[in-house]
Amino acid sequence: MHTLFYFVVALAAALADDSQIDEFTTGSRLFTGDVYTQLLSESTANIVVSPFSAETIVALTQSGAQGATGDEIRAALHLPDTKEETENAIRAVLPTVHSDYIALTTANKIFVENNYAIKDDFQKVAKEVYQADFQNIEFGDSEEAAAEINKWVEDNTGDKIHELVKPDDLDGSTKIVLVNALYFQGNWTIPFDPVFTNKTKFFTSLDSTVDALSMYKESEQLNYYASDELDAQILEIPFQGEEATMTFVLPNQKDGIALLERQIEKALITPKYTQEFVQVVLPKFKIESTINFKDVLQKLGVQKAFDFVEADFSGIAGEQGELFIGQAKQKTYIDVNEIGVEAAAATEIEGNDSLPPPATKFFVADHPFMFYIKINDIVLFEGRVLVPEYE
């Protein structure tokens, strides 16, 4: 008897205090760096991942984990030390992953085998802390069950993520499937003018280039930082409303991405920006990824949760050894273009007829770089572009 946990992307009474929220935010950044580092060992391509999506659903499982199983999960994810502290932090943080100016959906769903008894305490925590809904389903009919789960995923990711769950992933022994869906669609505060988008050369190595569709801004006042420590430029571009931003970290050297990635934790720390008028050249890109999060979590130290003998999820249902995590995977999608990220339609912006001031800084992303999207200091997505592709 087992349960499958899935992660997906296209984010009161006992409130956490400020120290617990700070601890969660710091831990989330550390987990983000850990996940990225693990993916580097397995990928030589473009990457996009949502550590926050994974973190949310795994945190939900630890609310039903007992003893060493829960301790191991909290340590690997850099969560607060106890289940109660973690739940208080999640309760406070989830409402902040919100903006009135962007389309942002973070949803948790627990699909439960018909007539399988989930404990009342776990149901209460799942609903009140993680805002998770429950739905009964017949896993023995694997075709129908997979279709039902995938339909919910599509509906909660702007129809960007398809076939997260395959019928072969499910069978009569499956009792619970937990899914997190995170969908983000944001328009830049000031869009790139498509008139200036042109093919440019993008260096994939010191002596090799490919053609890329690159966007251009003549001069805009943006948060900018030149890091001697990282040997890189850091540029933050806001989305409408400015609660959410996208940060680009560009090595100064055309072959500097590997050195930068070895300092991922430092690259994720918000620097002491200055407001500068910046001329920006940035390639359009789309990335789709499917990530085996079971491997990632195991390498980060989550072992017992995947072991049917040692796993103790008796806080969710049954007794020790009755439930364990069978699979953990994430599908992600990102589209960066002139209007913004995941933009479905252009937004009319009133322009200024006067000429912009001359740029004082130049940010020309013509070689591999890293990026991440944040809202209120929580990293929703991170990734890298080695070869920009846009179809």
Give 325-366 pLDDT, tens digit per residue: 887 888 888 889 988 874 322 222 233 344 556 668 899 999
What is the CATH code of the structural domain delimited by 187-284+354-385? 2.30.39.10
Rg (CA), the chain: 22
Task: Indicate the burial class of 378 (C-beta count within 10 angstroms; 0-12, 13-18, 19 or more).
Answer: buried
Q: Name the nearest CA neighbour of 385 among 289, 264, 285.
A: 285
pLDDT the model gives residue 135 = 87
Task: Indicate the burial class of 205 (C-beta count within 10 angstroms; 0-12, 13-18, 19 or more).
Answer: exposed
- Residue 295 phi/psi, 5° resolution? -60, -45
Structural tokens at position 293: 């999060």
- Cα–chain-centroid distance for residue 206? 30
Q: What is the pTM of this model?
A: 0.88
End-to-end CA distance of the chain: 43
C-alpha 358/C-alpha 355 separation (Å) is 9
CB 172 within 8 A of CB 140: yes
Question: What confidence tens digit (pLDDT) does each residue in 206-243 have?
Answer: 999 999 999 999 888 999 999 999 999 999 999 998 88
Our CA angle for 168, 174, 175, nearest 5°, is 150
pLDDT at position 170 over 90: no
pLDDT at position 140 over 90: no
Question: What confidence tens digit (pLDDT) does each residue in 25-37 have?
Answer: 899 999 999 999 9
pLDDT the model gives residue 351 = 35
Tell me the pLDDT band of 163, cut-offs 50, 70 and 90: confident
C-alpha 204/C-alpha 202 separation (Å) is 6
Which DSSP string corresponds to 151-168?
HHHHHHTTT-----S-GG
Domain boundaries along the sequence of the chain: 2-186+287-334, 187-284+354-385
The strand pair at 369-375 and 378-385 is best described as antiparallel
Which residues is 384 bridged to in the sheet?
47, 370
Residues contacting residue 320 through CB under 8 Å, at least 6 positions apart: 66, 311, 312, 314
C-alpha 28/C-alpha 386 separation (Å) is 25
What CATH superfamily classification does 2-186+287-334 receive?
Antithrombin, subunit I, domain 2 (3.30.497.10)
